[in-house]
Chain A
Amino acid sequence: MKTIACVLGGLVFALCSSTARAQDAPAGDLANGKRVYLATGCFTCHGRAGQGGAYNGPTPALAKTAMPFEGFKMQLRNPAKDMPAYSDRVMSDQEIADIYAFMQSLPGRRDAKGIAILGD
């Protein structure tokens, strides 16, 4: 029950904060974010396009993530589920900010109706 409450709390926080997420984030270096994202293996679970994937279970899409920066950082430092933790020994706060900036720069979702072969 405690877990469910935490998850719900997180969702509410994420929804309330979604409009302000980019502004709340520290300035990030997009190019370095891309480099770190690829070099440190974030892409192995979340995809080079931030499309998500699968590890022991589904891994979420991160392209244009609605998660606020603080939540994003918290997930890296002390992750839920099976995601490995990235401590400040291996990834600085600035690198996390860079990755976050890179995630926000990705194209994100399109209207599936605009892709004919997804209509079948």
Chain B
Amino acid sequence: MRRTQSKRTDDSPTIPRRNFLKGATLAGAAALGSPVPANALSSAPKANLKAAAPGPRQIAAETQPPVKDPVTQTSSGGDFMVDVFKTLDVEYLTMNCASSFRGLHEAVINHGNNSKPEIVNCPHEDIAVHMAQGYAKIAGKPIAMICHGVVGLQHATMAMYNAWCDRVPVIVMGGNIVEANKRAPGAEWVHSAIDPAAIVRDYVKWDDQPTSLQHFAESAVRAYKIAMTPPMGPVMLSLDAELQENPIPDAESLRIPKLAKVIPPQGDAGALAEAAKLLVTADNPVIICDRFARTGAGMARLVELAEALQCAVVDNAGRMNFPSRHPLNQSFRRGTVIPQADVILAIEMNDLWGALNTFSDRIVRSSQPITKKGAKIITLGSRDLYLKSNYQDFGRYQDVDLAIAGDGEASLPFLVEQVKRLVDAGRKSAYETRGKRLAAARLAMVEQAKSDATLGWDASPITTARMCAEVYAQIKDADWSLVGNSIRNFWPQRLWDFKKPYQWNGGSGGAGVGYNLPASLGAALANKPHGRLTVAFGGDGDFLFNPGTLWTAAHHQIPMLYVVQNNRAYHQEYMYLQAMAARHGRGIEKADIGTTIKDPNVDYATVARGMGVHGEGPIIDPNDLAPALKRALAAVKAGQPAVVDVVTDPR
């Protein structure tokens, strides 16, 4: 609907924008008494009009030769912008078409031959940004997204916030018409702004509105560099429509700056050496991490550090940080290992306070540290290098003993070297004992997880444990990549063997609903050239925010198995409402009002088929799940997206 309104033919003159001034001049001339068509006379006001005396501009308009009004051009600013994207190796441009960037759109498909960037057609800007977020976490580099002036950006904002909180590079662009006298009446005014990026400035690392093509080139390269420098994040460029559409005035003077290799900052060497000393001399060191591994090398470095120390690792799973079945992986024993720790190394943690304290969500909210008294806490991460004030995604302040500002992954090789240098034979023996103890505890934890998974194994609605076990049974021998998960579904990490860098890519960041389906598709797009089997779980509530993502999946033939964990509710909210009702001692049988997605139940497989995607379900009987997954995977292996709607128990 918005697109229709933006067309000039709807509510604005049919005069092209470049002819608008000419038209206005003619109208002015008519008012001054120039001959008018006879058919205009009947609708003319009856009253005698007293025209103002012509001013110098009007006189000039009448007496000077007509303004040069070419109807074609041989180049456009958009062409140059595409050339800039090509030098930056930007693979895709996710977007929903809009007039404020029609110049760049046309340049991408014709000048750029729809390659680097290739357009990914998305039916909502939220989808377009989330796809870019999911893509970057698998590909390790950003793609670009462009949206309509004002209204398109307003749609994109929540996804940009997710990317910001998730520290993911996304190059967001938006159309605009900077010069007021160049805007056609109607839509072009309501879709223009003095400062378009104002609404997103709190959650982008940097933004600009270039006023020339050279300015654009420099800002695009700068934006890319800033987005990719840890802590990574989205950036925003506002693109004037005239700059995109009009001929290049001085092509020979334009220059695309060189993009230097971005070297993530390593933490201070002296501080890392001190951290190594603390870790090596500790009785029970623990490593805890969140958005740590940003390349394929990150996990290997963390394994090397943990094995050198034979210490527990708690992975908050913001990225694919640590193999799930590694004997030192104590993520599901955090309640045991963190209170025992005498030294804690927190790497790229988003909410360290939350990890080291209990918090009680009761009438009187209270908290308590879970760390041992006197435990030394070391932080290593890029978070301290760049923060903003308004949105509170940085979490509560945590007391620490040594705060090392620097990229975790870039700092680890030096830290590992320092640790290894300090580990002598005596310590090695003690470490081995420690490692064996942790490995035994880890094995017991696995057996516990398997035992827990048997509870309700044959139940309908299907348990989430059964759902995850059935999916893994079908994919475990393939080169799989899990790129999305529903809220608090820990079964994959408890049961599956995650060991490759692309087998997990973290969550939404800002916990903004609507992330999962489009971000998973973006990750699938990044996995596609590698032939990986992309799999994702997602809640039904999340699905309903952006179901149009499936059309994009079908249109661009992006293979992905998407399993809807259909508990027919915004379930976390259902539980919160239940808690409120119980606290107030009333209405504890009504918490489904406003929190559930039933009456009618949504048939997600039919929705999928309606978008051109293979659909299976709703699967209610657990025994039907494996056959449905096999059929869906056959479609995925043939290059198609597929949805399996699994009616599940809540969690």
Contacts and interface: CB of A to CB of B under 8 A. Distances in A.
B583 A84 contact: yes
B610 interface: no
B512 interface: no
A90 B473 contact: no
A51 B378 CA distance: 38
B651 A110 contact: no
Nearest to B447: A112
A92 interface: no
Q: Summarize A's interface: helix, strand, loop or mixed.
A: loop
Interface stretch (B74-82, B133-141, B451-459, B554-562): B451-459
Nearest to B465: A51
B436 interface: no
Given A54-B488, A82-B361, A118-B469, A47 B651 contact: yes
Nearest to A58: B490
Contacts of B490: 54
Contact of B362 (A52, A82, A91, A109): A82
Given A44-B575, A51-B465, A81-B360, A118 B588 contact: no
A2 B447 CA distance: 31
Contact of B582 (A47, A56, A86, A110): A86
Interface stretch (A18-26, A35-43, A66-74): A35-43
Contacts of A40: 588-589
A52 B452 contact: yes
Interface in A88-120: 89-91, 106-112, 115, 117-118, 120
B651 A53 contact: yes
Contacts of B450: 112, 118
Residue among A44, A56, A91, A109 having the largest count of chain B Cβ atoms under 10 Å: A44
Interface residues of B, number: 44
Contact of A53 (B581, B588, B591, B650): B650
A51 B347 CA distance: 34
A46 B456 CA distance: 11
Interface in B61-97: none
B123 interface: no
Contact of A56 (B361, B458, B588): B361
Contacts of A111: 454
Given A87-B585, A112-B450, A54 B469 contact: no
Contact of A90 (B453, B574, B575, B582): B582
A61 B649 CA distance: 13
Contact of B469 (A50, A81, A110, A117): A117
Nearest to B363: A85
A11 to B, nearest CB: 14
Nearest to A39: B589
A53 B488 CA distance: 9
A55 interface: yes
Contacts of A48: 456, 459, 461, 649
Contact of B651 (A41, A45, A84): A45
Given A41-B591, A44-B571, A48-B649, A112 B453 contact: yes
A52 B455 contact: yes
A106 B362 CA distance: 30
Nearest to A51: B455
A90 B586 contact: yes
B215 interface: no
Given A54-B488, A82-B362, A91-B588, A117 B470 contact: yes
Contacts of B591: 41, 44
27 contacts: A39-B589, A41-B588, A41-B589, A44-B591, A44-B650, A47-B455, A47-B463, A48-B461, A49-B649, A51-B456, A51-B463, A54-B651, A63-B456, A82-B360, A82-B579, A84-B582, A86-B588, A89-B585, A91-B588, A107-B455, A107-B458, A111-B454, A112-B453, A112-B454, A115-B454, A115-B469, A117-B470
Interface of B: 360-362, 447, 450-459, 461, 463-465, 469-470, 472-473, 476, 488, 490, 495, 497, 571, 574-575, 578-583, 585-586, 588-589, 591, 649-651
Given A41-B575, A85-B583, 14 more contacts: A40-B588, A44-B574, A45-B575, A45-B650, A47-B463, A51-B452, A51-B649, A53-B650, A84-B583, A85-B582, A90-B581, A90-B588, A112-B450, A117-B473
